[in-house]
Structure 1
Amino acid sequence: MRDTIGTALEGVIVRVNADKATLGFARTSENGTYKITLKSDAKQLIITAEAIGYEKTKREIKNVSQECNFNLKEKTTDLKEVVVKAPAIYQRGDTLSYNLASYIGKNDYTLKDAMKKLPGIEVGDKGSIKYLGKEISNFYINGMDLLGGRYNIATTNIPASFVNSVQVLSNHQAVKANKDVFSDNVAINVNMSNKAKFKPVGSYGVSLGAGKHTLYEINGAGMLFKSNFQMLASLKAGNINQFALTDGTNHFDNKETLSTLSNLLENISASTPPIEVDRYASPTDRLLSFNILRKIRKDVTLKGNIGYSYAKSQYDYSLTRSYADADNNVIIAQEYSPLSTIHRPSIQLEYKDNSEKTYLSNTLSSTGSFLTSELPTKENGSLFNQKQTMREFYVNNKFSTLWHHKDLCWAVTSIMSYQGSPMGKITLNKETTDNVVQNANGRSFRTENTLSMSKKHLYSRIYLPILLNYYMDKVQTSLHPTDESNDVNMQNLRMALVPQYEYSHPQYKYVFRLEIPMRIDYIIHKDNLESASSGSWYYSVCPSVYCNYKVTSRSVLRTNIFYARTFGDILDFLKTPVRFNDTSLKVGSGILADNKSLNASLHYDYKIPLKMWFFNADFLYNQEKNNLLMSQDASSTLITMSKIYAPNTGRSFMGQVGVTKFIEPIKTKISLNGGYQWKRQTTLQNDNQQKYTWKSWAFSPYLTSQPCKYVELAYNGMFAKTYLSTKYQNNSYLSQQHKVSLKLMPFDGFTFDTSADIVKNELTKDVSKTMSLFDMGLSYRKKAMKISFDIRNILNQRQYAYTIYNSVNTFTYNYLLRGRECVCTVKLTM
């Protein structure tokens, strides 16, 4: 079978008929040949050949064995006009793809705005992304890892119009050489549109406004996404919204800059109420970010990320602390006006070879943090000042490689880090007493090294990792005018053998893992002031069991049960007091904390992607046995926090359920989330040992809808009740929050929007406070330009109050809010 120019045709259907009955048929092979064998008494046969794109050919032949060749002519067919519409959502294997245009509204400017409307995906207040309740492990742009955990830079700067689709990669295995190893990780991949792939693009904006003082913001982001090169650079400065620290957050390593000194002195200006920070804080923020990734070869990339964040914030609030006592509660009431400034530079360089046979990666990163805080404080009509200065830096290098040799897989990982805290200082200036000056400095070194061998047999896999880790910490403190000081160092040498057995079903219908870590810790601490040192050996076996069961193609059941043992840190050995604000002292116990815990978690999710139904449920149980008991000695002037040797047990339980449905005809996403938490622990306060029970339930509905092209509405609510029960008190408080937004688009390009934040909090029994904030705005959008005018806090609401329970104590806050503000903004995408 050939065409008119002699080219062999494959897949042509050949039929043989006689008296309208089909006697046999065949398809042509790659070289255009076919063969049909039949039995018939008919003298004449009709043989037909047909194929798509060619004219149908018939021929009448005699019923004898013979060779019959055809030359088919190409056929031209006029197609009717059709409209091709991409589905809103589709699934292929473990990849779920959202066609972004099917979900976003006319006013969804950034990728972050649009992703909030995707069913099954949740975007947190600080930009973190979850899918069916699980945090994502990787964030890709066109399949390339440009930003790592700092993906806020992408979601807040990339316009939604530049994105074609957002993909959820379930069971994502980031290391290609481990492609046959099961993973329950979830990743996000953003596919850019063609206009953002082949040329530089960007988004730029300017805002000017008036409130208590002149308001401004300028921002610009330039980006380029090619097949072998990616770049995203952004610059932002302003005093309207707080963004510098949030946009630079590393969601995959939130503790990268948390040092021992930060845990000791904390941040005297770190109070954060459960409302948007821009409602009460007056910021001055600057952010610079430059990110570049170059693909050297198919699987080899070089990446560089440079960032600088500057955040200055000021606000006012009052705090009344009630410390539970057997006789009478101790009350401390103060008013604060925090003013803090943070400089945070960072750099990261990465080389990665991620091929299907080998894996090699080296990441060098460094971060600095320079904090200055002032805390003017008023108590009983007396005004005094507290001031804090912190200087810290962090350097980390992570090397990882993996290769296959015969039937074995070898892996080596080495992490080395150094954290220096050359300066930590808190100064308390009171007229009635001598000035108090608390100085502290410290440094730490970490190295964690792993050599692992694994072998696969049929559907089983055995891992045999060997770990050798070393940790060193040093802290020095001095307190004036008492001249009390600490000079302590601590070292921990850890060796571990972590055998693991894994069984996987051929299609990963179920996966079972059993891990039995066997660990030896040698911990030594030395007090240089006393020239005393002591060391102890600790032996631990911490088994864990993991199971992932794919109940159906739509549902997954996952459980994890493990026993863990953790130790305290160098702060346990600080024998003299450390002052970290005007009313609080910390004292170490001189005994190393030894915590043993049993943890169990259960996760279930069910989804019907094509019908856009998503459901997830999580249950977690924790039981801890501690050798040290938290202790507080509360008076009207000073709170001393310490730990004493007293074995105790604490238990906690958490349950969370979420369901999401997207109704495509009216572009409506409905989410209902409910949660329950329960905790029972023991504490010691003013020499009275108290067992307390803390529990809370919360219900959070969420709705976003565009029922017609002229209207968009959104609702985000929360109802919660918290209980505290002790020997001396039984308290509870109810809180509710409602955020409603309505957008009207009566004319092409014009949008009128109004929103309301309504919060009602129970401060004490039968005493509640309601806060209502209203905003309004008008915008006009023409092609790539958008101009908007917004009025915030129209009613000039000035206060927000709420209550929380802290251990057995009750804290009541009252924040001063930012007043009425007017802002005009111009945005441009190109």
Structure 2
Amino acid sequence: MKKLVLFSVFVFCCTLSIFAQSHSIMGTVVDSSTLEPITGVNVIVRHCTDNGIIAYTTTADNGTFSLQINHDNLADYTLQVTCLGYEQQTLNLTDNNYLIKLKEKSFELQEVSIKADKIIQNKDTTSYFVTNFATTKDRTIGDVLTNMPGINIAENGKISYNGSPINKFYVEGIDLFDGKYNLATNNISYENIARVEVIENHQAIKALQGTGVDTETAINLKLKDSAKSVWNGNFLGKGGFTHDEGLWETELFAARFSSKSQSATTLKSNNTGKNIADEGNSLTIDDLLYMYPGSEISGSLTSAPSISTNLSNDRTRFNRTHMFSNSSMWKLSESGQIKSQIIYTDDKNTYDQSIESAYYLMDNLLVKGTQETSSVKDKGLQASVVATIDKDSYFLSDELSFKSKWRTFTSEINGDFNYHSIADITTYNVENRLKYVKKTGNNIFQIMSLNKYEFIPEDLYVGGESVKQQKIDKGNFFSNTNFRFLHNIKRWSLGTNMDLFGNIYNFNSLYNDASINYQNDLNVNYIGARLNPEIIYQNEHLKLNLKFPLSVYHFSGEQSATKIYVKPDIYLKWKFLPRWTLFVNATIGNSYTGNGLYYTAPVMTDYRAMYAGFLNYDGKIEKRIGGRISYANPSDMLFANLSATYSDENTKRSISKQVDNGYVYYLYEPGNDKYKLLFADGSISKGIELINGSIELSSSFQNHNMPLEQNGYISTIDFGSINSGITLKSNPCDWFNIDYKIGHKYNYMKSEALKSVTQHLTQKCLLVFYPIEDISIKLNGEHYLSFFDSGQKKNTFLVDLEFVYRYKQFDFLASVTNLFNQNVYSYTIYGDLSSTTTQYNIRGRNVTIGVNWYF
């Protein structure tokens, strides 16, 4: 340990002893004929010897640019200026200020790959021209993104590009939606978007641009000129009926995007099953920058029925949902802006399920069946305001946010158990984030602070065969201040991070029934420091990042202890061929895992499950290695990626599970249980001119290996799944469009004494016909075939039909969903020596008519 500390101090001292000169390069790019400024011009500083990129930026709305290079001799570098439709210029660097006049030329790209004008790649930016991927059935930019090879959208709306998650989502270079980009993809009309830009190795902070530090993958929506500085959006009104109730669906979206301000407002309401409440969820990993062990707490009670099917959420939701959101940005100056966001949701869902729970005991199989009718009422409020100054020399951001969620979960349980239960869970969260980055010459200094308070009161009442009550109050205050220093020496960056943090955590609970009471009154506090030396090496093709964090925690409260955690980390990104990139990440060491299951007296989480834990400051010992290889050829519209991750964890605890006639008791005790996870996935997507569409092949595998003691019998179990699928999208002629997807899922659980398997085959086919130009007929078919462990199989067929008549700015709509009025669907999931087969009620036949007005 002494050697580790000495090494950290040595690296920190080295970073303070080396310096070099910095140059600011500024200028303006204009059209040589009109002298009008040109926006979005690529300005690149290259090394004369190896042509490597030293710094990169694009021009602002007024045609200006500014970038910084940390090198002594300007004569060693050139300034390359490129823009679509203009001749490229390359200048020798001799000065610090330039006026660059670009001459127009015909549409011809030398370094850029083009295939039927659909995709253009220029260095780290891949541009998709929206009109070449949009079909008549599409309405929002999210619809069109699903047609673009290399771009994948998960069911929750999260976007990835060739395996890399999108961590910034811009409209005209502004991050208006602050990670909640479903508000954009589900609402902005594709007809307002000229192109979608995917930017790799992106750095949002000007002071860090060109340094290669903390880069990520981003998407930027470039608007058509006609959509700038004007209000646009849509209003949808629909009404209809099912066999037992009337239906409604209304949506209003209005947005205005200009260079000085942006605003987007959404107002929605429906009871048709459409999930609009999740549009306010954050989908980027920015929050991870402020996530530390102990900074997050969550509720303990089971707060909703388990929903796990191959069906879309719209099929299983019996809802009444209302949502309002507003996101706004005002530019105070060229470098300063203020953003605000408010999101309110009111979501009520009802569920009707038949559940069969199977427990694999040493000498028999215990099966319990219940019929459960439940409702979940959610109300949520999010509000935030952030002020930002972003200059070439420094960056400053201060954000204040508030989140609250009120949930009531009511259940009626009949069958082998007969209860009714009511769970009330409320969450309050107040948070302040501050970030300051200063660049001076070759040195980067950064301060980040997080101050966060959360309070979660929970109440559970269970009545019926017996009366049980559980009350829980959790409170958590966390504070962290991070200091980071980096010194750049040509291709090297040397530096260190230091964190000073503290946490106050209170957990109070009371359980009582007719015969017994359990009570917890826990207080766990800690203060600590973390020193994290880092070394970064990068060139045009390679980036290597080494970190060596050493953390010291001093705990007080229920027990006092001082713990040291060390967890080195290595990250490698290597572009070993022009179209091939390899990513590797590995770590080994121990770390604090957070507050977790600290309570020692049992806590009831639902009507038949109880948990008890222990104070554990030892954390976990983890070994993890992951890698990804990707291939991108935009000129041929071919993208492929393959990734794999293996982790081995020693949690310093063991789990004992006791099943007593269907009631389940979990006890966490000190031990050395090891958990292993193997995960792999991959995909290949190809745009095909012959069919005017694309095809994608995807596959994934995951396996969990864990020890478990159940009713005194210790075993090692493996459970997981294997998934594969093919997606075909084609628009072969003007009057016909087809989207087809077939997928297979293999779920399994096995141990020394048993093996259980279920399989699910899914087919989805959307056919769209255009008998005349303004009319479309959509026929959607879905087939679900399930094979259960008992040898039974079940077929489910779902058919939807929709007519759309477009007249000027209006769409007149008529639809029937679930035409054959199918009512149930079954699915099986596996866990810790148990399986749960659930028969879900699904939405029956829905008939609606309506109109959608685009403005």
Q: Tell me the residue number matched to 2:393.
A: 357
* Aligned CA distance change for structure 1 residues 705 and 92 (closer, same or farther; 3 Å): same
Within the alignment, does 1:436 sit opposite 2:488 as a pair? Answer: no
Q: Distance in 1 between matches of 2:172 and 2:593?
A: 43
Q: Which residue of 1 aligns with 2:352?
A: 316
Q: Does 1:619 align with 2:650?
A: no
Q: Secondary structure at the match of 1:728?
A: coil
What corresponds to 2:49 in structure 1?
none
What is the one-letter code of the residue matched to 2:463? Answer: N
Is the aligned partner of 1:650 residue 2:686?
Answer: no
State the SS of the aligned residue for 2:143: helix
Aligned residue runs from structure 1 range 616-695, under 5 A: 616-664=641-689, 666-695=691-720
Report the Cα distance in structure 2 between the residues aligned to 1:196 and 1:687, rounded to whole angstroms. 67
Please give the residue correspondences for 1:436-515 in structure 2 after superposition, counting only pairs within 5 Å: 436-481=468-513, 482-505=516-539, 508-515=540-547
One-letter code aligned to 2:145? M
Q: Does 1:801 align with 2:832?
A: no
CA distance in 1, matches of 2:350, 2:637: 44
Instruction: Report % sequence identity.
Output: 20
Q: Which runs of no fewer than 5 residues in structure 2 stay unpaired?
A: 1-113
- Note if contact 1:359-1:403 (Cα within 8 Å) is conserved in structure 2: yes
Could you say if the C-alpha distance between residues 781 and 593 of structure 1 is closer, same or farther in structure 2, counting changes exceeding 3 Å? Answer: farther
Counterpart residue number, 2:198:
168
The 1-side partners of 2:598 and 2:403 are apart by 28
Deviation at 1:632, TM superposition (A): 1.2
Q: Which amino acid in the other structure matches residue 385 of structure 1?
A: H
Partner in structure 2 of residue 396 of structure 1: 431
Letter aligned with residue 216 of structure 1: W
Say whether residues 1:95 and 2:125 are aligned partners: yes
Distance change >3 Å, CA 259–CA 568, structure 1 → 2: closer
For residues 709 and 275 of structure 1, what CA distance do their matches in structure 2 show?
31
1:241 is displaced (CA, Å) by: 2.7
Per-residue CA deviation, residues 603-657 of structure 1 (Å, 9 max, x unaligned), is 1111110110001111111111121112211111411112122212222211211
Q: How does 1:224-373 map to 2 (within 5 A)?
A: 224-252=256-284, 262-373=298-409
Residues 36-115 of structure 1: pairs in structure 2 closer than 5 A? 87-115=117-145
Match of 2:39 in 1: none
Which residue of the other structure, out of 728, 742, 762, is the alignment partner of 1:717? 742
Q: Give the match for residue 701 of structure 1.
A: 726
| Counterpart for residue 59 of structure 1 | none
Cα 1:204–1:665 shift into 2, 3 Å: farther
In structure 1, what is the equivalent of residue 444 of structure 2? Answer: 409
RMSD: 1.9
CA contact (8 A) 2:240 2:846 kept: yes
Equivalence for 1:149: 179
Q: Tell me, what secondary structure is at the counterpart of 1:109? A: coil
Residue 261 (structure 1) shift: 6.6
Q: Distance in 2 between matches of 1:357 and 1:315?
A: 55
Give the partner amino acid of 1:699: S
Q: Which amino acid aligns with 2:622?
A: S
Distance 1:699 1:412 in 2: 45
Q: Is the 1:261–1:441 contact (alpha carbons within 8 Å) kept by the matching residues of 2? A: no
Q: Deviations over 1:648-685 (max 9, x none)?
A: 22222112111000123532111100122223211111
Question: Match for residue 29 of structure 2?
Answer: none
Unaligned ranges ≥5, structure 1 = 1-83, 527-533
Shift of 1:316: 0.6
- Aligned residue in 2 for 1:196: 227
Change (3 A) 1:695 1:442: closer
Deviation at 1:383, TM superposition (A): 4.5
Q: Quote the Cα distance in structure 1 between the aligned partners of 2:841 and 2:538.
A: 57
Q: Do 2:308 and 2:829's aligned partners in 1 also have CA atoms closer than 8 Å?
A: no
C-alpha displacement at 1:453, in angstroms?
1.2
- Give 1:77's aligned residue: none
CA distance in 1, matches of 2:419, 2:648: 43
Match of 1:529? none
SS in 1 for 2:459: strand
> How far, CA to CA, are the matches of 2:439 and 2:818 in structure 1?
62
Match of 1:503, as an amino acid? Y
Give how far 1:363 is off. Answer: 1.1
Q: 1:326 to 1:639 in 2, by over 3 A?
A: same
When structure 1 is superposed on structure 2, of 178-187 and 633-642 the one drifting more is 178-187
Q: Bigger radius of gyration, 1 or 2?
A: 1
CA contact (8 A) 1:763 1:812 kept: no
CA distance in 2, matches of 1:747, 1:783: 15
SS at match of 1:572: coil
Residue in structure 2 matching 1:127, options 129, 154, 157: 157
Q: Is the 8 A contact 2:297 2:476 kept in 1?
A: no
- Note the C-alpha offset of 1:266: 3.2
The answer on whether the counterparts of 2:273 and 2:316 sit within 8 Å (CA) in structure 1 is no
C-alpha displacement at 1:590, in angstroms? 4.1
Which position in structure 1 is the counterpart of 2:51?
Answer: none
Q: Which amino acid aligns with 2:344?
A: Y
Q: When the two structures are aligned, how many residues end up with a matched partner?
A: 734
Q: 1:426 to 1:353 in 2, by over 3 A?
A: same
What is the match of residue 111 of structure 2? none
Deviation by residue 1:511-569 (Cα, 9 ceiling, x = unmatched): 1121111111122342xxxxxxx211111221111111111221211111112533344
Query: Please, which of 454, 459, 469 is the counterpart of residue 425 of structure 1?
Result: 459
Q: CA deviation at 1:493?
A: 1.7
Check conservation: 1:410, 1:452, Cα contact below 8 A. Answer: yes
Give the structure 2 partner of residue 23 of structure 1: none
Displacement of 1:571 in angstroms is: 4.4
In structure 1, how many angstroms separate the alpha carbons of the residues matched to 2:220 and 2:584?
A: 26
**Inter-partner Cα distance in structure 2 for 1:462 and 1:443:** 39
Residues 260/197 of structure 1: CA separation in 2 closer, same or farther (3 Å cut): closer
What residue is the counterpart of 1:48 in the other structure?
none
Distance 2:280 2:680 in 1: 31
Greater mean deviation of Cα atoms: 608-617 or 625-634: 625-634
For the residue of structure 1 that corresponds to 2:201, the secondary structure is coil
Deviations 1:568-624 (A, max 9, x none): 444433121111211111111344462111111111111110110001111111111
Q: Secondary structure at the match of 1:153?
A: helix
Deviating more after overlay: 242-251 vs 291-300: 242-251
Contact in 1 for aligned 2:273/2:315 (Cα 8 Å):
no
Contact 2:522 2:599 in 1 (8 A): yes
Q: For the Cα contact (< 8 Å) 1:474–1:570, is it kept in 2?
A: no
Q: Structure 1 residue 694: deviation in Å?
A: 2.4
Match of 2:216, SS state, is coil
Q: TM-score, with normalisation over the residues of structure 2?
A: 0.83
- Name the SS of the counterpart of 1:727 in structure 2: coil
Taking the aligned partners of 2:801 and 2:522, their CA distance within structure 1 comes to 57
Written as runs of structure 1 = structure 2, the 5 A alignment for 1:586-597 is 586-592=611-617, 594-597=619-622
Q: Following the alignment from structure 1 to structure 2, what is the Cα–Cα distance between the partners of residues 662 and 378?
A: 52
Q: Which residue of 1 aligns with 2:606?
A: 581
Instruction: Please state whether the residue corresponding to 2:186 is helix, strand or coil.
Output: helix
Kept after mapping to 1: 8 A contact 2:541/2:576: yes
Cα distance in 2, alignment partners of residues 414 and 491 from structure 1:
19
Q: Residues 131, 608 of structure 1: CA spacing in aligned structure 2 closer, same or farther, 3 A cutoff?
A: same
Partner of 1:42 in structure 2?
none
